[in-house]
């Protein structure tokens, strides 16, 4: 909806499921090339807002695990990556390249520890990894490693909550 009662028209977005409830969006002047009623809404966020954290479930590996990247299969066994690893860049947590999306949590029995641990399931089966055995220090390789999990204790979680599929 465009409120044209002002010299600078204002845009409002109708709340789904309502007929007359709106949220203020922005000045219409922020969309100078859009025809009335045909807007491609863009998000306007301050420097402290992280869009990914508002829309996704994300994990990043804790300090000290950058070059080991312990990934597990659904049997609670470590996945052999042949020395390759998913790396958390030194620039800090939660930059887009340091995050891995997850879609659910699950307790898995870890035979080596003789107990059930909480894991997050990484979305996807193919990941870009660093290969320390390559000729160049920053060589990335894509590798299909299948469905993998990370221990909740090995990562920091941010974003939307995920459902836990079972109990310990």
Predicted confidence (pLDDT) per residue in 62-78, tens digit: 877 667 778 999 999 99
Residues 95 and 146 in one domain: yes
Q: Range of 16's domain? A: 1-44
Residues 92 and 32 in one domain: no
pLDDT attached to residue 142 = 83
Structural domain includes residue 70: yes
69/24 same-domain check: no
Number of domains present in the structure of the chain: 2
In a domain, 133, yes or no: yes
What tens digit of pLDDT does each residue of 80-139 get? Answer: 988 888 865 444 444 445 688 999 999 999 999 999 999 999 998 988 888 877 777 667
In a domain, 35, yes or no: yes
What does the pLDDT read at residue 93? 44
Task: Answer whether residue 22 shows pLDDT above 80.
Answer: no
Does 62 reside within a domain?
A: yes
45 band by pLDDT with thresholds 50, 70 and 90: very low
6 lies in the same domain as 71: no
* Contacts by residues 20-27 (CB-CB < 8 Å, ≥ 24 positions apart): none
Is 164 a member of any domain?
Answer: no
Both 101 and 130 in a single domain?
Answer: yes
Judgement on whether residues 99 and 153 belong to the same structural domain of the protein: yes
User: What pLDDT does 98 receive?
Assistant: 65
User: For residue 94, what pLDDT is reported?
Assistant: 43
Q: Are residues 39 and 93 in the same domain?
A: no
- Three-class secondary structure of residue 51 per DSSP: helix
- 3-class state of residue 54 by DSSP: helix
What percent of the chain is helix, strand and coil (3-state, nearest 5)?
Answer: 10, 35, 55
pTM, full prediction: 0.66
**6 lies in the same domain as 64:** no
Residues 146 and 92 in one domain: yes
- Residue 60: inside a domain, yes or no? yes
16 pLDDT more than 90: no
In the prediction, which pLDDT does 138 show? 65
Is the residue at 168 inside a domain?
A: no
Furthest C-alpha separation in the chain: 69
Tell me: the pLDDT tens digits for 25-35? Answer: 666 555 555 55
**What is residue 53's DSSP assignment?**
H
């Amino acid at each position: 909806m465009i409120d044209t009662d002002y010299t600078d028209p204002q845009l409002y977005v109708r709340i789904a499921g309502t007929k007359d409830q709106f949220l203020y969006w922005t000045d219409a002047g922020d969309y100078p090339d859009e025809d009335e009623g045909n807007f491609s809404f863009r998000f306007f966020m301050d420097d402290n807002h992280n869009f990914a954290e508002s829309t996704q479930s994300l994990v990043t590996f804790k300090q000290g695990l950058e070059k080991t990247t312990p990934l597990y299969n659904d049997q609670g066994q470590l996945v052999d990556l042949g020395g390759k690893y998913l790396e958390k860049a030194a620039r800090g947590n939660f930059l887009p390249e340091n995050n891995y999306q997850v879609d659910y949590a699950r307790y898995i029995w870890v035979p080596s520890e003789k107990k059930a641990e909480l894991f997050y399931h990484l979305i996807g089966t193919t990941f870009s990894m660093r290969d320390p055995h390559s000729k160049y220090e920053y060589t990335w390789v894509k590798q299909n490693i299948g469905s993998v999990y990370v221990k909740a204790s090995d990562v920091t979680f941010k974003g939307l909550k995920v459902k836990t599929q079972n109990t310990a």
